[in-house]
């Protein structure tokens, strides 16, 4: 286990940055029948804090959120380790598909085999596709998450047999949400990678690591795989605060960061389209989820009129607070639904819902029989 580390306040504030978001169903989805009468058996999630429902509670790291005000709008006002005021996108997507209401963390020692069989999240807040990113924050790397998935398969097989386990794996959906930390926390903040990679070369490096993750999932039986692109990283409140010439007065997005995300997203789309073309005859449904466009609309376009605050979060000043800096002693807004972001990095449940509505055609395509 990695030891705790000591960092400066701004670095810690931005270190828990994990924006890529998954599909999020709205509240009505909880009472809808399964869309298209789909036969999805389970949901498995890999990635960072936007899809970590509490795995980091069981890791020796500073990057946790199992304390108020996180979870203030969750069932029972319970802080579970989710970095938001309510449900995560992964909770909402499994309820939309019709699997279950919440997707639990794999490392929860109290999970029953029945609960595990319908899906878990292996995600870890603070991680990235670059192995260095996970090392920086002492969290679970993507290769380690895949190792946990292999362990999971053995546990399920021992309980229900290999044939039934393989049937569950084949008809499940797989969600991968990762990459933002690699750029915001690692490449643009620390010197190590910049000494060896241009921005373009680093984008290729991150994409190559993602391709290996997808290949490993395919080899383990995954056939329905969705991958989110990067968000407009320059519009995250913490990024604005740390990179604006006048963070209080000038709250516009930082173009350098968002441009890097746009370029990477185009490369990612091309790669996913290529993979889908090569593997479609084997039953592949490999899907790209665009979260950049709808999120930038919520911040800069017509969608911004649905929120009172688009450039700082609900917790504390909203400029830097995230993770342990957003805590029970922090000031908290009275209505998180008026904010795009809950803390200085992570979105509110309302934002998740709007992102799902924009992404729903891609989600439906992936789960359609």
CB atoms within 10 A of CB 208: 11
Q: 126: phi > 0 → left, psi -120 to 50 → alpha, else beta; which?
A: left
Residue 111 CB contacts under 8 Å (≥ 6 apart), including other chains: 104, 120
Rg over CA atoms, the chain: 19
- Catalytic machinery residues: 49, 343, 346
Nearest to 349, CA basis, from 29, 67, 108, 63 = 29
Q: How far apart, in whole angstroms, are the C-alpha atoms of residue 265 and residue 236?
A: 17
Nearest to 48, CA basis, from 80, 68, 69, 19 = 19
Edge-to-edge strand list for the sheet holding 224-228: 119-121, 43-47, 173-177, 224-228, 285-289
Nearest to 267, CA basis, from 355, 347, 179, 192 = 179
């Amino acid at each position: 286990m990695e030891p705790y580390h000591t960092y400066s306040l701004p670095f810690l504030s931005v270190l828990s940055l994990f924006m890529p978001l998954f599909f999020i169903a709205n509240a009505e989805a909880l009472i809808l029948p399964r869309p298209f009468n789909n036969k999805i058996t389970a949901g498995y999630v890999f990635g960072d804090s936007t899809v970590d429902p509490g795995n980091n509670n069981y890791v020796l790291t500073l990057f946790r959120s199992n304390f108020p005000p996180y979870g203030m709008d969750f069932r029972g006002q319970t802080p579970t380790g989710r970095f938001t005021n309510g449900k995560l996108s992964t909770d909402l997507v499994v309820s939309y598909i019709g699997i279950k209401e919440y997707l639990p963390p794999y490392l929860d020692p109290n999970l029953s085999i029945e609960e595990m069989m319908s899906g878990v999240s292996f995600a870890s807040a603070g991680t990235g596709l670059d192995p260095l990113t996970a090392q920086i924050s002492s969290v679970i790397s993507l290769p380690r998450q895949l190792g946990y998935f292999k362990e999971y398969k053995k546990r399920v097989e021992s309980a229900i047999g290999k044939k039934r386990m393989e049937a569950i794996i084949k008809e499940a959906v797989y969600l991968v949400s990762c990459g933002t930390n690699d750029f915001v926390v690692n490449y643009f903040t620390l010197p190590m990678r910049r000494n060896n990679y241009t921005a373009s070369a680093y984008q290729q490096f991150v994409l190559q690591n993602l391709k290996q993750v997808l290949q490993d999932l395919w080899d383990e039986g995954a056939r329905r795989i969705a991958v989110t692109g990067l968000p407009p990283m320059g519009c995250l409140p913490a990024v604005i605060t740390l990179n604006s010439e006048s963070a209080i007065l000038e709250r516009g997005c930082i173009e350098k960061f968002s441009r890097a995300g746009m370029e990477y997203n185009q490369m990612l789309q091309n790669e996913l389209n290529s993979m889908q073309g090569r593997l479609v005859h084997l039953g592949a449904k490999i899907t790209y989820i665009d979260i950049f466009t709808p999120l930038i609309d919520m911040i800069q376009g017509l969608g911004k009129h649905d929120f009172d605050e688009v450039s700082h979060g609900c917790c504390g000043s909203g400029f830097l607070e995230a993770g342990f800096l957003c805590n029970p002693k922090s000031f908290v807004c009275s209505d998180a639904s008026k904010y795009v972001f809950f803390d200085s990095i992570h979105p509110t449940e309302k934002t998740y819902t709007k992102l799902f509505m924009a992404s729903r055609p891609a989600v439906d395509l992936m789960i359609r029989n």
